[in-house]
Amino acid sequence: MKVIKIAALLGMVVTTSAFAQANTTAADTSASVTASQTGAWVPPQGEANVPKTRAQVYAELVQAEKDGQLDYLNSTIYRNP
């Protein structure tokens, strides 16, 4: 009976020391998150996020066609393999 008690006590001592050396930095780093990191996305230079109208999108498309930007993208990125 004493052998079982000694073995149980030894087992508790061994497991307690293993938990005493556990790494607790994960809990510390998650608690140090600032409010700016948890907030929503903010557009550059504090500009308002206003959706574009169809006319604005069409004007950008016409401008890209005139600049040759669409031809460049079609020949490089969107090229069929």
The per-residue pLDDT string of the chain (81 residues; one tens digit each, 9 = 90 and over) reads: 788 888 888 887 777 766 666 565 655 555 555 555 667 776 677 667 789 999 999 999 999 999 999 999 989 988 876
Instruction: Provide the CA 42 distance to its chain's centre, in angstroms.
Output: 15
- What's the CA angle centered on 21, arms 20 and 22, to 5 degrees? 95
Write down the pLDDT at residue 55.
97
CB contact set of 52 (below 8 Å; sequence gap of 6+)? 60
74: its two tokens: 């079609």
